[in-house]
């Protein structure tokens, strides 16, 4: 267990799997006590906790649907009771809605609640516990890709909103709390159906690096943003060169 950061606490939303799981483990390796939030997959969340416990102490699981303010308030209540404070917030939890489309207002509402309002709610209830610290929001390269994707129109719109929120929140909270975001390309997670090697090769073709990105590579970027004290209001793109490809 690394002991360079005694008593530091990081809350990672959506940490039962994918990018959130990799990020929780990365923070445990840095010596943080990690609050592992999840919505429904207890078994996977427990596996994340077990791995975190190999590296740091006082890690905890909190089941909460971050799109619901009552559950978010209760989650931060538990964090307060256990630690009294919070150093790091990673707003990572998010969904992809198969029914996303240009006029599907139900999908817009669903994605708004799960990918955008959720971040605002968690931030609202986390801030009273954060005198200083860092917030990292997990956006997507789709917030800015010029070629668009009609089947992810709401997803792209609310990730763009999250990047705007990130920048304005950074202005509001600096210098005590620094706020940044990461914008991943295609990451091999459950969101893509946990692709095997062949599928990953296919999906990775749109990246200049010709492979999918691994969750640990996004976690590394998040840890960098937390360690660095000069980056403020920035969006770190980790997309294997995907955005360059779309420029032709």
Ligand X SMILES: NC(=O)c1ccc[n+]([C@@H]2O[C@H](COP(=O)([O-])OP(=O)(O)OC[C@H]3O[C@@H](n4cnc5c(N)ncnc54)[C@H](OP(=O)(O)O)[C@@H]3O)[C@@H](O)[C@H]2O)c1
H or E stretch covering 62: strand 60-63
Nearer to ligand X, 132 or 164 (CB): 164
Q: Which residue has the tokens 């139900």?
A: 106
120-159 positions binding ligand X, by CB under 6 A:
138, 140
Q: Considering only 98-106, 126-134, 180-188, 223-231, which stretch makes contact with ligand X by CB under 6 A?
A: 180-188
Binding segment for ligand X among 25-33, 50-58, 189-197, 223-231 (CB under 6 A)? Answer: 189-197
Query: 49-88 mask for ligand X (x: CB under 6 A)?
Result: ----------------xxx---------------------
d(C-alpha 136, C-alpha 225), whole Å: 7
Report the distance separating Cα 72 and Cα 164, nearest Å.
Answer: 22
| Closer Cβ to ligand X, 19 or 170, answer by number | 19
101's tokens: 């489309």
Return d(Cα 206, Cα 246) in angstroms, integer. 9
CA distance 240 to 207: 5
Token readout for 55 is: 């590296």
Active site residue 32: no
Catalytic residues: 155
Applying CB under 6 A, the residues found at the interface with ligand X are 13-20, 37-41, 44, 65-67, 92-95, 114, 118, 138, 140, 184, 186-187, 189-192
């Amino acid at each position: 267990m690394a002991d360079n950061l005694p008593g530091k606490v990081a809350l990672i939303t959506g940490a039962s799997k994918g990018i959130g799981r990799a990020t929780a483990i990365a923070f445990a390796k840095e010596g943080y006590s990690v609050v592992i939030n999840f919505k429904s997959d207890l078994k996977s969340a427990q596996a994340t906790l077990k791995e975190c416990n190999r590296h740091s102490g006082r890690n905890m699981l909190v089941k909460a649907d971050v799109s619901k303010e009552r559950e978010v308030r209760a989650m931060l209540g538990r964090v307060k009771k256990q630690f009294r404070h919070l150093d790091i917030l990673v707003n990572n939890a998010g969904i992809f809605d198969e029914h996303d489309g240009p006029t599907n207002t139900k999908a817009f509402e669903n994605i708004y609640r799960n990918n955008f309002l959720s971040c605002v709610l968690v931030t609202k209830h986390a801030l009273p516990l954060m005198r200083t610290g860092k917030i990292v929001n997990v956006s997507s390269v789709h917030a800015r890709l010029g070629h668009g994707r009609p089947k992810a129109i709401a997803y792209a719109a609310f990730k763009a909103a999250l990047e705007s929120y990130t920048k304005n929140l950074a202005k509001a909270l600096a210098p005590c709390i620094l706020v940044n975001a990461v914008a991943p390309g295609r990451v091999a997670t459950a969101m893509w159906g946990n692709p095997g090697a062949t599928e990953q090769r296919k999906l990775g073709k749109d990246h200049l690096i010709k492979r999918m990105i691994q969750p640990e590579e996004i976690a590394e970027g998040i840890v960098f943003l937390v360690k660095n004290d000069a980056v403020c209001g920035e969006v770190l793109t980790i997309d294997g060169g995907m955005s360059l490809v779309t420029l032709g």
